[in-house]
Every structure is written in C-alpha cells, then in structure tokens.
Amino acid sequence: METSKVIHAIYTDDDVLMSAVKRVKAERYHIEEIYTPFPVHGLDKAMGLAPTRLAITAFLYGCVGLCVAVAMMNFIMIEDWPQNIGGKPSFSYIENMPAFVPIMFELTVFFAAHLMVITFYLRSRMWPFKKAENPDLRTTDDHFLMEIAVHGNETELENLLKETGAVEIKLIEKEEAH
C-alpha cells in the first residue's frame, strides 16, 4: 500500500462547482475525481474527459441480439417445428420475416440493454459486495466533492479552492493499492 495526499474541496452548488472545475483546470491542476449527488451536465467536458465508447458497445450488443433472434426464429419456426399459422408458408424464413419483426426488435433491445448494464458495472468496477468508494456521505445528498492530487503545493491549492467558492477544504492521506 502506498499513500498519497489529496485535497477534498466541498461545494454546495453545481454552478459554483462547474466554474471551479474550469478555474482549477485553467491553473493546470489535475482533478482526480468529482463526486456529485446527481449528473452535472457538461462536467465531463469541463474536466477534459475523453468521450465514452459505450455507445459503440450498445450497437454491437444490439447486432448480437438481432443475429440471435434471426437464428432462433429460423431454427424454431422453419427448421425444427414448422407450423401453418394463418396460412403463412413455413418453408421460408424470408416469407415469414414480416411476422418476425416484433421479435427481432425486442431481442435487439433486450440484448443491448442487459449487456450494457453488465458492461457498465464491469467498466465502473462495481462488483457485488464491493465497499463504496464515496469519501463523503454528503455527496449522496446535496454536496459536491472535488478531489485533487497534492504534490507539495497545498497552500496555493487551498487558496485557489477558497477563491473558487469551496465551503470546506480537507487534506487527506489516501491509500492506493497497486
């Protein structure tokens, strides 16, 4: 275990937090993490985070769902157990496809949604029974916390954070597992 120092600056308003993030980034400090009780629009851009690729995985998962639906319906309704339902021919998948469109749509959405939830949890490292990483419980209610790495510049960083409207500033020793 290795320890490093971080500063926790607490804000009570999301607009003040946004302007503080812009100011801190302009001063070339590295923001480790920001904890908020709700999503703050534009915070990812203000922090300079790269765009997410989760939409690409959602599309790919939807394609997998569509392929599974087509293969499943072809096997069940054409090859394994063909039935004459309402006079529809049961010897060709293409001729029956209009009747299968709702099933294809539903399985596409089902696969995309369920696999995206699993991907999100894995990507966020949120396993079952994992201890919460939230450093201050007030950030689940009405406070915002900015965590900034400290490299021997505590005083000027604290002064900058006071100027940006932080209501509370704490120096914390954080344990890091490698």
DSSP string, 98-152: HHHHHHHHHHHHHHHHHHHHHHHHHHTT--TTPPP--S-GGGGTT-EEEEEE-SS
pLDDT at 146: 94
For residue 144, give the nearest of 40, 33, 10, 7 by alpha carbon.
10
Judge if pTM exceeds 0.75.
no
d(CA 161, CA 166) in angstroms, rounded, equals 6
β partners of residue 168: 10
β partners of residue 77: none
pLDDT at 56: 94
pLDDT at 1: 53
pLDDT at 2: 65
Q: Which residues of the chain have pLDDT under 70?
A: 1-3, 176-178
The DSSP element (H or E) to which 18 belongs, if any, is helix 14-26
For residue 40, give the nearest of 20, 17, 24, 23 by alpha carbon.
17
d(CA 38, CA 41) in angstroms, rounded, equals 9
User: What is the gyration radius of the CA atoms in the chain, in angstroms?
Assistant: 26
For residue 32, give the nearest of 61, 13, 5 by alpha carbon.
5
